Structures are given as structure tokens and as C-alpha cells.
Structure 1
Amino acid sequence: MAENNQLEQNKRNEDSMSLLARSLLTGFIGGLFWSTIAVILFYFNFSKVSPKSFILRSWLKTDWTSSWLGDLVSIVLIGVLSMIIALIYYGTLKKVKSMWVGVLYGIILWAIIFYLLQPIFNNVPGLFDLDTNTIVTTLCLYILYGIFIGYSISYDYHETQVKET
């Protein structure tokens, strides 16, 4: 009987570790996907702000940051940073089973990036200097990103809980 309890405990530990790993993978893939969409939206002039404006151009003023290589490096860096955002969601909100929490999470992330952290990104215009298309486009993009991260992690968490019972 004690061996069965130990085996069940080991299986739960493996599931929680794999859930964390899957959450980090969700964050990485979400960052890659949605930052690629942001680059496409920038090239089609839906937004005046590109991912490389935040990640690279605010600190580096070299020629390669304006090219496709700058876009590619920015997409990968956002994927890595997105793992941190997914980890925060995993640690705080994974038990909440609602799409609206993801929407709110995306809005909060947008406000943090475009309002609170804006002084760090000197290559990006201030929130009140952006045009309406850029604000609407980026806000919608962050909402979709928040839904992707939030709903994926919450769904995975609840499915793991169902399997354990």
C-alpha cells in the first residue's frame, strides 16, 4: 500500500513538472506566433510600432536591426520573454477557468508595455502620440495573446486535474 502511494505521488510530481514545461512551451510558441503576426501587421501599416522597436531599436542603433534579421531576432527574443509571462500566469491564474481572465491579462500586459514601461522604450512614441489604428491593433493583438496564453495554460491545468482523479 505504501508503494502505491509513493508511485501515485511520483506520478503527480511528474505531471506537475510536465504541466510547467508545457506552460513554458505555450509561452514560447505564443510569443513566436503573436510577434510574427505583429511584424506582419507592422509591414501592412496596421501599426506604427513593430516588435523590433521595443526589443532592439530602443537599445541598438545598428543597421542590421532595421532589416529582416532584426525582425527575426526580435521574434525569438519575444518568444523567450513570453516564457516569463506564461510562468507568471501559471503561478497566479492557472486555476481560473475563464476566457475573460485571458482577455484581462492581455489588456494588463498592453497597459504595462505601452504605458508603464514606455519610458524605457525611447524608440516608441508615447501612448498619447500613437494613432488610433496602432492603439486598436496592438490592444487587440495583446488581448489575443492573453487569451492564447491564459486559456491554453488553464485548459491544460484542468485536463491534468481530471486525469489525476
Structure 2
Amino acid sequence: MKNDENQKDIQNENVTENQEESRDKKSSENQRENQQQNQVNNYIYVTGFFGGLFVSVLAYAAHFINFIPFGPGVVIRMWPFYPVVGGVRGPWAHVIGILVLSLLSILIAWVYHALFRKINTVWAGLWFGLALWVVIFFALHPLVPGVGSFRQLDWNTNITILCLFLIYGLFVGYSISYEHLQEELEKQRN
């Protein structure tokens, strides 16, 4: 009898140990997946912010050398708080515009991640930049006072702005797609 009880106790201990090991494996796998997801999220935030920052600074430089008649500061005119900051002019308006565009760029990066992250080609980013340009200059144009329509702006301005959007789409799109590809390769290795 004692041998049967001892064997049952040993079996129960082994089962308990196996259950604890499987729980520990699941817990470590969940932690690894959460850590990978946090890294991807952080990458999207950083890519979006710095993509917007880079292109906004380029837009300011284009404005400074008179390639385009307006700079990134024009974006603050479309916000509800414009009467409060309406007195901000010159370089400070452009600094605020650069920051606002950089923050908005994070949302645009999330849109790209949600829709096109699996397309790992340069062309997807370029098409995305072109689509953004079309949406902003044809659909959302009335929301930004002080900026002429596509037909009112000269060719130099339109081509410069289009190139800025293509650069932005290329940077954000290819960066996010590349990161997604690296994440998939990492999953396959593990």
C-alpha cells in the first residue's frame, strides 16, 4: 500500500512539475511576443515622427530658398486653436508647424503599417506618398487657408511638394515594410 501511495505521490509531483514547466514556457513565450510587439510599436512611432520631421525640415528649407511660397507653419492655420496662436509668425510658426506635422506623421505611419506593411517594395512607399499628395491637395485643400489649389500654384511649387511627398512615402513605407520583413524572418528562425 505504501508503495502505491509513494508512486502516486511521485506521479503527482511529476505532473505538477510538468505543468509548471509548460506554464513557464508559455509565460516566457508571451513575454517575448509582447516585447517584440512593443519594439514594433516603438519603431512605428520613431519612423513616423522622424519621417515627418525630416520632410518638414526639407519643406522649410524649400520655403526658405523660395521653391514653395509657404512653409510648414501653414499647418497651424487649420487647427481650432489658430486664433490663440495666430500671432505666431516667422520661424516660430514654422517650428510649431514642423512639430505638428511630425506628430501627425505618426498617425500616417500607423495607417501605412495597418494597410501596406506586408508589401516590401520601394514602389509601395512611392505610391503611398503620391496618394497622400492627392488626398491633401485635392480632397483636404479647402481645410488649409492660405494655400492655393493645385491649379493656382505654379509648376515649381507643385513638383517640389510632390517630390517631398514621394520622399516621405518612400521613407516611411520602406522603413515599416523592411521592419515587418525582419520581424517575420525572426519569427521563422525561432
TM-score of the superposition, structure 1-length normalised?
0.92
Q: 1:13-52 to 2 correspondence within 5 Å? A: 13-52=34-73
Instruction: Work out whether 1:82 is the aligned partner of 2:102.
Output: no
Once the two structures are superposed, residues 6-28 of structure 1 have per-residue CA deviations (whole angstroms, 9 ceiling, x without a partner) of 42232122202210121111101
How far apart in 1 are the matches of 2:112 and 2:49?
13
Gaps of 5+ in 1: none
Match for residue 126 of structure 2 among 103, 125, 136: 103
Matched with 2:163 is: 140
Letter in 1 for 2:103: V
% identical aligned pairs: 31
Deviation at 1:58, TM superposition (A): 4.3
Matched with 2:87 is: 63
Deviation at 1:96, TM superposition (A): 1.0
Letter in 2 for 1:163: E
Once the two structures are superposed, residues 44-66 of structure 1 have per-residue CA deviations (whole angstroms, 9 ceiling, x without a partner) of 0111232112x1234536332x2
CA contact 1:58–1:123 (8 Å) conserved in 2: no
Q: Which of 1 and 2 has greater Rg?
A: 2
How far apart in 1 are the matches of 2:29 and 2:125?
32
Matched with 1:8 is: 29
How far apart in 2 are the matches of 1:116 and 1:160?
35
Runs of 4+ with >6 A deviation: none
How far apart in 1 are the matches of 2:42 and 2:78?
31
TM-score of the superposition, structure 2-length normalised?
0.81
How far apart in 2 are the matches of 1:49 and 1:130?
11
Matched with 1:160 is: 183
How far apart in 1 are the matches of 2:164 and 2:60?
11
How far apart in 1 are the matches of 2:116 and 2:41?
13
